[in-house]
Amino acid sequence: MEPSFFSLDEARQLLRAPLTALRHELHAHPERSGQEVETTRRLRALLSQPPFELLPLPVETGLVARIRGNGPGKRVAIRADMDALPVQEWAGNLLQSQVPGVMHACGHDMHMSFAYGAGLLLGRHRDSFPGEVLLIFQPAEETGEGAQRMVDAGVFERYPVDYIVGGHVKPELPEGQISVRTGPVMAALDGIRIDILGKGGHGACPHACRDPIVAASAVVLALQTVVSRTTEPSKTCVLSICCIHGGETDNVIPDRVVLEGTLRTVDREQRIACIDRLRTIAVSTAAAMGCEANVLIHRGMPLVVNDEGTTEICRARATALLGADQVTVLPVDTVSEDFSVFAQQVPGCFIHVGTRAPGTDFYPLHSDRFCPSDELLPLGAAIYAEMAMGLLHEREERR
């Protein structure tokens, strides 16, 4: 196997101090989706000096920077997301958010540090690669809007790229392990809203009403068959009803019950089949109970699909950098990611970076206790830089 372009030793020596400082600053000052003003300001300050060059883009939050190599060649984008969540950080974490009720509970502070660190590493070796690397920092990943905002602002028209890479920290995976998967990586998300309309009245006189609460209950249970009876057992699929709203008091049957939930699918046919079936079940079950169901599907995020050729190169680079025993392939993730919006336009590879330290308790993403170790920062940066370098050096004939 070809040797790696970078080494973890070099990454640790060069990056441990600056990335730890940046990550601590970002972690202390989290901002919610679409409000990443200070985060943008901090990153702009860092990326307005060599080896970086800030590139103009008409967005309120988010930014793009470039590192040029030694001449013309391929262009590779490294993407990081910037937003935090409305979560109150657990007081026992090693790092502490200074903003009440807002926390980097999804590790986007890590992602920004990885991307910045990758830029520093690449910048140090800019004489040894052709082409250029773009760092894309996008806002509002959690709401599924940010990537689209960058695309709408013309990021790829102004700054076309041949490939895009990105990743997410993954607490289910041991610290320092990487998952590189070809094809579907993270599920498509559709939001579901079902309004069950009946006829309200006195709780003691149900015969004079059409009870939407009983109908909604039957609909929720019947919807459980969408996954178990519609989709191929070997394919990942999730349908969860997460909200039920209806009624005000204990003796009035309401007119309406609203159900809300989420559908996660891993291919187009499965998605269409599930939406079709859930509509039929909601409408028919409600009708059987004398009620009416209005079903609204809100398209959230498309499926993240890793391009085969791009992913092959990235896996080879990850293996060269970390060793084969540290590179694995996780099943498709039922969580969604708007990296998909970029990957629909440009061949992409999205990886997972394990964060679970040995002997520590498991806390999932979005938990108020999720706080990966700083030790991972140089590794994450090195893997991003290594993937970018592999793609920059890709031979023409492979395309």
SS3 content of the chain, % helix, strand, coil (to 5): 35, 25, 35
Query: Toward Ni ion, which CB reaches closer, 217 or 367?
Result: 367
Query: Toward Ni ion, which CB reaches closer, 131 or 167?
Result: 167
Only segment of 3-11, 99-107, 177-185, 315-323 that touches Ni ion (CB under 5 A):
99-107
Query: Toward Ni ion, which CB reaches closer, 257 or 335?
Result: 335
Q: Compute the half-sphere exposure of residue 44: CA atoms within 13 Å on the CB side of its CA.
A: 14
Q: How far is the CB of 1 from Ni ion (least distance, A)?
A: 32
Q: How far is the CB of 4 from Ni ion (least distance, A)?
A: 27
Residue with tokens 């989709």: 231
Q: How far is the CB of 200 from Ni ion (least distance, A)?
A: 41
Helix (H, G, I), strand (E, B) or coil at 60: coil
The amino acid sitting at 335 is V
Task: Tell whether residue 112 is a contact of Ni ion (CB under 5 A).
Answer: no
Only segment of 98-106, 228-236, 249-257, 265-273 that touches Ni ion (CB under 5 A):
98-106
Residue 4 is classified by DSSP as: P
C-beta nearest to Ni ion: residue: 106
Only segment of 102-110, 321-329, 368-376, 387-395 that touches Ni ion (CB under 5 A):
102-110
Which of 344, 269, 242, 334 minimizes the C-alpha distance to 302?
344
Cα distance from N-terminal residue to C-terminal residue, the chain: 20
Per the omega criterion (within 30 degrees of 0), is the bond before 51 cis? yes
The amino acid sitting at 227 is V
Query: Toward Ni ion, which CB reaches closer, 106 or 313?
Result: 106
* Strands of 132-138's sheet in order across: 53-55, 63-68, 132-138, 75-81, 163-174, 348-356, 178-180, 327-328
d(CA 262, CA 98): 32
Q: How far is the CB of 267 from Ni ion (least distance, A)?
A: 22
Q: How far is the CB of 337 from Ni ion (least distance, A)?
A: 7
Task: Tell whether residue 147 is a contact of Ni ion (CB under 5 A).
Answer: no
Which residues are 84's β-sheet partners? 32
Quote the tokens at residue 137. Answer: 């920092």
Cβ neighbours of residue 355 closer than 8 Å, sequence gap 6 or more? 107, 110, 169, 170, 171, 173, 175, 372, 373, 376
Task: Tell whether residue 64 is a contact of Ni ion (CB under 5 A).
Answer: no
Only segment of 55-63, 103-111, 282-290, 347-355 that touches Ni ion (CB under 5 A):
103-111
Query: Toward Ni ion, which CB reaches closer, 88 or 280?
Result: 88
Q: How far is the CB of 271 from Ni ion (least distance, A)?
A: 22
Query: Toward Ni ion, which CB reaches closer, 62 or 246?
Result: 62
d(CA 6, CA 242): 45
Query: Toward Ni ion, which CB reaches closer, 106 or 316?
Result: 106
The amino acid sitting at 175 is E
Task: Tell whether residue 253 is a contact of Ni ion (CB under 5 A).
Answer: no
CB-count burial class (<10 Å; 0-12, 13-18, 19+) for 50 = exposed
Only segment of 43-51, 101-109, 194-202, 215-223 that touches Ni ion (CB under 5 A):
101-109
Residues in contact with Ni ion, counted by CB under 5 A, come to a total of 1
Angle 108-124/8-28 helices, nearest 10 degrees? Answer: 140
Give me the sign of the Cα torsion angle 208, 210, 212, 216.
positive
Residues 4-43 that bind Ni ion (CB under 5 A): none
Q: How far is the CB of 147 from Ni ion (least distance, A)?
A: 12
Q: How far is the CB of 106 from Ni ion (least distance, A)?
A: 3
d(CA 377, CA 386): 14
Q: How far is the CB of 335 from Ni ion (least distance, A)?
A: 8
Q: Which of 67, 106, 266, 295 binds Ni ion (CB under 5 A)?
A: 106
* Element (DSSP H or E) covering residue 382: helix 376-392
Only segment of 100-108, 112-120, 151-159, 259-267 that touches Ni ion (CB under 5 A):
100-108
Task: Tell whether residue 304 is a contact of Ni ion (CB under 5 A).
Answer: no
Q: How far is the CB of 107 from Ni ion (least distance, A)?
A: 6
Only segment of 105-113, 274-282, 310-318, 341-349 that touches Ni ion (CB under 5 A):
105-113
Residues 327-356 that bind Ni ion (CB under 5 A): none
Task: Tell whether residue 189 is a contact of Ni ion (CB under 5 A).
Answer: no
**Chain residues that interact with Ni ion, rule: CB under 5 A:** 106
